[in-house]
Amino acid sequence: MEMEKSTSQPTQKASFAALLVLVTVIAVADGYDLTVLSAALPVILAKHEWGLTAATAGVVASIQMLGLLIGAILSGSLRDRIGGRKMLILNLLFFSIFTAIVPLAPNAAVLGAFRFLGGLGLGGIIPVMIVLVSEFSPPGRRHLNNTVLLMGTAVGGLLAPLSGALILPHANFRWLFVVGGLFPLIVLVPLVGKFVPESPTYLLTRRADEARTIADRYGIELDETVAPMASDGERTRSNALRYLFNRSRVARTVLLLIAEFFIMGVALGLTSTWLPQYLVLGGFEITSALLVSVTTFAGAIVGGLVGGWLQDRTNPKLIVVIGCFGGAATLLLIGAALQVAALVYVLVFALGFLNTIYIMNGFIANSHPAAVRATMVGLAFGVGRTGGIFLTAAGGWVAAAALPPAANFWLWSVALFIPAVVLLFARSTSSVPAAGAVANAPAVASTVG
């Protein structure tokens, strides 16, 4: 028996490792597509492509964020009906097709429509994969594995401006979108169809034997007490929302959502959209601004891994708070140092290192019980995408306002200071009851003070 156990364990680990690699590559594609407009934006504005100005480009970027918001909401609802695997494939198809055809847009209105439709797919990918990784991860490695997954978006965010710096001097900016769309369409969609398993929890009330087979193959413990909830998607979400917003938890839930609004808003509005253009306004050449943006995402990769490591060893919320305060201070310093290029490189690396979006989402996912995790993650992403819509639009107005270049960065520092303060008043953890407690959330809500 011992020999049998020792030979099967490496297979289980290898199976999950392969799954983690695949979803991380998908996250890379997600991060690339989310950032590709930012990489192309300086050229688009300089050449007046599609008749865009800084203000109208902000509107187009915000329309994409609206797609992300709606996509996150729809994905959470549809996942309970069709399963996480099918939802992932559908999201991939949407964002890859509507990214690849961006070069065909004849005007700004059609461009906005394509970015909106692509955003529908982008919006649901990461929430679906966070839940998938949490379900298949060994219990002691969920923080680390979620961090690895989310680092994929940072790698993609790095590749977009790096590709821009390499391609734009020699070819049309439209190739950035073609590459970003065709790779997931041709490569990733078939791989997901072949290798990504369906959620065992979803399968429990539909194909129970298949659910147990998948759980055995990946070496995970299947909690069959959640099966009654899994059979009724509407009831599950209703109970989860009652749990999250009962009298004992509503303050914490609201504070986390406020923090997520600003943290994701800064990540989407500044880091993924307006940072290169602000650097151009500060006197940098377009290629140099893109390379500086690459440095930001390099810092985010290192900082995310360090932050995830620290979260496993200390108070996870405290690491997020420190990152927000540090990021706000770094933006003030960048504004003051725009005339010293070498120092700007160091500071934008620090800004990326202190980027809290990756560790914030991991903190939210892992500080809630499994039975409400998907609902809370979807809710947080919806609110965060809303922050992305408003702050991306605000970023366009700031860019068009002809402010002193330093002021562009100083204004954004306020948006990071707010969540740092808000999180100080939020409890670090939520109580983690058994699944049955969440299933009986209406009773809990009426009795907990």
The total of other beta-carbon atoms located within 10 Å of residue 193's CB is 13
Residues 6+ apart with CB under 8 A from 196: 19, 22, 23, 85, 88, 132
Residues 6+ apart with CB under 8 A from 420: 321, 324, 325, 328
CA distance 323 to 329: 10
Give the count of alpha carbons within 13 A of 322, CB side only: 14
CA distance 228 to 209: 16
Question: What single letter denotes the amino acid at residue 188?
Answer: L
Q: By C-alpha distance, which of 385, 368, 387 is closest to 432?
A: 368
Question: What single letter denotes the amino acid at residue 38?
Answer: S
- CA geometry: angle at 365 spanning 364 and 371, to 5°? 120
The two structure tokens encoding residue 126: 């990461």
Q: By C-alpha distance, which of 226, 196, 212, 152 is closest to 375?
A: 226
Output phi, psi for 327, to 5 deg.
Answer: -65, -40
Ranges of each domain in the chain: 8-447
Cβ neighbourhood burial of 213 (10 Å; 0-12, 13-18, 19+): middle
pLDDT tens-digit profile, the chain (449 residues)? 333 343 344 444 447 888 899 999 999 999 999 888 888 888 888 888 898 888 888 888 888 888 988 888 787 777 777 888 899 999 999 999 999 999 999 999 999 999 999 999 998 898 889 888 878 877 667 777 888 898 888 888 888 888 888 888 888 889 999 999 999 999 999 999 888 888 777 777 677 777 777 777 777 776 554 444 444 555 556 677 788 888 888 999 999 999 999 999 998 889 878 888 898 899 888 878 878 878 888 898 889 888 888 887 888 899 999 999 999 999 999 999 999 989 999 999 999 999 888 889 888 877 777 667 777 888 888 888 889 888 988 998 888 888 899 999 999 999 999 999 999 998 766 544 444 444 444 433 332 22
- 333, 345 contact by CB (below 8 A): no
Give me the residue label for tokens 């990946």. Answer: 218
Q: How far is CA 81 from CA 124, 125, 194, 196, 441, in A?
A: 14, 16, 21, 18, 21
CA distance 323 to 328: 9
CA distance 347 to 364: 28
CA 325 to chain centre: 21
CA 424 to chain centre: 23
CA distance 50 to 36: 16
CA distance 372 to 351: 32
The one-character DSSP state at 428 is S
CA distance 164 to 162: 5
Cβ neighbourhood burial of 220 (10 Å; 0-12, 13-18, 19+): middle
Torsion, CA 11, CA 17, CA 22, CA 23, rounded to 10: 130
| Dihedral of alpha carbons 22, 27, 32, 37, sign | positive
Residue 418 pLDDT: 96
Residue 411 pLDDT: 93
- CA geometry: angle at 132 spanning 294 and 66, to 5°? 55
CATH node for 8-447: 1.20.1250.20
Q: By C-alpha distance, which of 310, 325, 440, 302 is closest to 371?
A: 440
Residue 52 pLDDT: 87
The one-character DSSP state at 197 is P
